[in-house]
Structure formats: structure tokens, C-alpha cells
Amino acid sequence: MVKKIIISAIISALMPVCAFAQSEIQEWQPDRGKKMMHFTKANLVNIGLGVECEGFYNYGAGARLEWRAGSERQLINAIAGWEIMWHNPIHKEKPNIIYVQNSPYLAFRINYVRMAPGSLYLEGGMSYNINAGEKYRIADRETSDKLLARNHFSTSMRMGYVTDRYDISVFARYDLKPTFDQKHIYETGSFDYYAMKKALNERWSIGLCMLWYFRK
């Protein structure tokens, strides 16, 4: 009888401890969905600032401001930003057209190889190119003409390597229509259309970009 009373007392004493331990286990069970939601919100503010250069017959260099939704460790990221490029700024013997191009853009990125240090990615995007400051330059003479270049859309494909602090990429860009108004240049007697023909017909360019991120 005494033995039963002792066993019952021990069980009664252990029951609250077991219940508390069970509640602790339940409280600390990982919630993957909640964790991913927190992870996503924490990575909504990724701001990058960098430099970029591109070209074939035409060439340019400038700055790039970028916002990225998502972490480099997630499969898919959304990208938005603004580029400003100075085209053909260096004097050449042949005639060329100098201009400034502002390009707001949108893109989607797939981080196809995700590692602890960083990720390899592929990115496709589209930009709208707003041209300004157009000048025809030959020798030491410059002629301003806002009809030389026209606004247009471009598509791009980019591949690169990104970490939580920097992003290095190479890209190819295709203009959906030529940057320059070929008809206007051909019909204007003071412009040498044939000397610039390859540059005027150019739609493809390749380039290099480096970004540094300021993360929240």
C-alpha cells in the first residue's frame, strides 16, 4: 500500500514537468513557412549602386541604380532600376553621335546555383531608353540635333555572380529598333551617313557591370 502511494506521488510530481517539457518542444518547433516569410520581408530592401560599360561600334559607360526584391539565396528575384549612360564620349577621327541615355528597367532573375558565399544567376529584362543631348561630331565640330536619336525599348540577357555585398555580371542588349533616326541622318546633307553606317545600324551591344549593395 505504501509503495503504491509513493509511486502515485512520483507520477503526480512528474506530470507537470512532462507537460511543461512537451509545451516547450511544441513552442520551439520550426515553422518553415513563417521563417521563409520573415526571410523574404527582411530581403525586400536591397539597393545597389554601380558602374557599367557596353558597346560594339557605339560604346558607352555610366552608372546603375538597382532595387532587388529577394535574397541571392532564393530561387527567383525581381529587379527594378535606372541606368544613365554617356555614349561615344571619346573623340574619334570618324564622325559619330554623342548622347546621354536614361533607361528605367525591369527584370527577373533565376539564381540557378546557390552557395553559401554567393549565387550564379541568369537574368532577363527590358528597358525603355530615353535619349537626350544628341550631337553629331566630326573633327572639332559638333552639331546639336535632337532628331538624331529616338527613344526606344531594349531587351537584355545577363549572367553573373552575386553575394550579399556585390554583383558582377556580363550582359547582351538588343534594341527593338535602331537608336538613331537613319532617314533623318541620310537626308541631312551635313551628316556623313555612309561613314557612320555600321554604327547607325547597330542593335546589339555587350557589356560588363559591377554593383555594390547597401542592405537593410
Q: What is the pLDDT of residue 167?
A: 97
Q: What is the pLDDT of residue 38?
A: 66
pLDDT class of 152 with cuts at 50, 70, 90:
very high
Per-residue pLDDT, averaged over 105-119, amounts to 95
Per-residue pLDDT, averaged over 21-35, amounts to 62
For the chain, percent of residues with pLDDT exceeding 70: 81
Per-residue pLDDT, averaged over 173-197, amounts to 93
End-to-end CA distance of the chain: 67
Label residue 139 left, alpha or beta by phi (over 0 means left) and psi (-120 to 50 means alpha).
left
Q: What is the pLDDT of residue 109?
A: 97
Q: What is the pLDDT of residue 120?
A: 97
Residue with cell 529584362: 125
Q: What is the pLDDT of residue 9?
A: 58
Q: What is the pLDDT of residue 179?
A: 94
pLDDT class of 39 with cuts at 50, 70, 90:
low
Q: Are 86 and 55 in contact (CB under 8 A)?
A: no
Judge whether residue 45 has pLDDT over 80: no
Distance CA(14)–CA(36), nearest Å, equals 37
Q: What is the pLDDT of residue 44?
A: 73
Per-residue pLDDT, averaged over 143-151, amounts to 94
Among 66-75, 121-130, 152-161, which is the least confidently predicted range?
66-75
Which comes out higher in pLDDT, residue 34 or 55? 55
Q: What is the pLDDT of residue 92?
A: 75
Please name the residues in contact with 162: beta carbons below 8 A apart, sequence gap of 6 or more.
Answer: 72, 111, 118, 119, 121, 168
Q: What is the pLDDT of residue 87?
A: 95
Among 8-12, 41-45, 136-140, which is the least confidently predicted range?
8-12
Of 59, 100, 58, 108, the closest CA to residue 83 belongs to 100
Please name the residues in contact with 172: beta carbons below 8 A apart, sequence gap of 6 or more.
Answer: 156, 157, 158, 204, 205, 206, 207
Q: What is the pLDDT of residue 32?
A: 75
